[in-house]
Amino acid sequence: MANHNNKKHSLFTRLKRKNRLFYLRVLRQTDSPETIAFGAAIGVASGILPTFGLGALLAIGIAYIVKANKIAAVLGSFIMNPVTTPLFLTLSSAVGGLIFWKDLATISSAVNEQEVFSSVRWALVVFLTGNIIVSLSFAFVSYFVVKKLIIKHRMKKLARLNMRLNGSRSK
């Protein structure tokens, strides 16, 4: 039993360290906060969209075209991972269902009871509509969150530098 708990702790610790590494990589970029945040937003959108594993490549391509930060774009695309996939799939279906005034049970039963191809096509339209809204919403929010974090990080870094400079002058 103790070995099982160590594996859980180890997995949690690794995930925490990996998230911290991504966070620091984004913060340490030297582009403007807007360019980095725009790259991250592109990555988040391409990560949530159903790109079938090509989200990072799509993010790099779009970031290159619009001159956004490519590293932040790739890191942002990792928002979609095995842990978050069920959340985004469910959220996308629910949002699409709200737009088309259908709940998830109705969508599921339509796929199960009606002609398979027409109902799957309809469910796909509902899902993709919801997915586009979810991905753009998360991208929009991530732009402002990343931008704020970068500005805050740089202000703290500048304050520490000023303290060191002022401390060495007073000696």
Q: Which residues of 13-39 are buried (b: 16+ CB within 10 A; e: fewer)?
A: eeeeeeeeebeeebbebebebebbbbb
Report residue 152's pLDDT band, with 50, 70 and 90 as the boundaries. Answer: very high
| Alpha-carbon torsion, ordered 24, 28, 34, 37, to 10 deg | -20
Give the rounded distance of the alpha carbon of 136 from its chain centre: 10
Do residues 76 and 43 make contact, with C-beta atoms less than 8 angstroms apart?
Answer: yes
| pTM value surpassing 0.85 | no
Interval 130-140: pLDDT, tens:
999 999 999 99
Q: Show the tokens assigned to 115.
A: 């002609």
The residue segments making up the domain with residue 45 are 2-169
Tally of domains in the chain: 1
Interval 81-134: pLDDT, tens:
777 888 888 899 889 888 887 666 665 665 555 554 566 677 788 889 999 999
pLDDT at 41 over 70: yes
Least confident range of 18-32, 62-76, 91-105: 18-32
- Distance CA(135)–CA(51), nearest Å, equals 12
